[in-house]
Amino acid sequence: MQQRTKIAPSILSADFAQLGAEVAAIAAAGADYVHVDVMDGHFVPNITIGPMVLKALKPHAGIPFDVHLMIAPVDPYVVEFARAGADIITFHPEAGPHPHRTVQLIKAEGKKAGLSLNPATPLSVLDHLLPELDLVLVMSVNPGFGGQAFIPSALEKIAEIRRRIDAVSASQNGRPIDLEVDGGINLETAQAAVRAGADVLVAGTATFKGGPSSYAGNIAGLRA
């Protein structure tokens, strides 16, 4: 069963000189999650932030921090990000040899575990992991940079994962599993993604455009 649409603003599009204030502003504006894109310049072609920045931001918002690790190898950093304040930790199956072990590592820290699928990642990676996951993240762009255009073929992937999540959730007494979409989300693509089955939208540019006075309206527009 699909949940209410949640909005997870990506702070990759925030004003980095004012990150604490930006995180507080999106929380006050009605965001459901703070989405933190962690990039290492190796797994993806960009470098963003590490655990120290996450730890510094955590006190600025009382909503969950949704941390997307685009780093490889991923396992050596899971505990550090968990203890820095991540509430959800999402990783890529290509980022380590044993994705199930990575899920166990995240759960051992008491955090929710997510798996991220790049545009070319096959759905077969979910075959033996989905019952253990709390979130599946569909990348509707190739990861590494904000501001890219939504890849339309992601909609078919979202719809198929929605069917799989509903089946697993039903077998686990309705346990919620988020289906998140990240990349090129605007008012038009948000509507298409939700129709396909998404219930969490990662939105960077679409949330932060116009400055803090616009955040509430931007978030409400995406959710609607």
Which amino acids are annotated as binding site for a divalent metal cation, given as ranges? Answer: 35, 37, 68, 182
Given a contact cutoff of 8 angstroms between Cβ atoms, the answer to whether 8 and 31 are in contact is: yes
Catalytic residue (choose from 134, 178, 182, 199): 182
- With a CB cutoff of 8 Å and minimum separation 6, the contacts of 167 are none
Helix intervals (H) in the chain:
19-28, 51-57, 75-84, 99-108, 154-171, 187-196, 205-208, 215-223
Is 40 labeled as catalytic in the residue annotation?
no
| Side-chain half-sphere exposure of 21, counting CA atoms within 13 A | 7
Helix (H, G, I), strand (E, B) or coil at 36: strand
Point out the catalytic residue in the list 32, 37, 66, 199: 37
The 10 Å Cβ neighbour count of residue 120 is 9
66 assigned to active site? no
Question: Residues within the annotated binding site?
Answer: 10, 35, 37, 68, 144-147, 182-184, 204-205
Contacting residues for 99 by C-beta, under 8 A, at least 6 apart: 91, 93, 115, 125, 129
Please answer whether residues 68 and 37 qualify as being in contact, where contact means their C-beta atoms are separated by less than 8 angstroms. Answer: yes
The residues carrying an active-site annotation are 37, 182
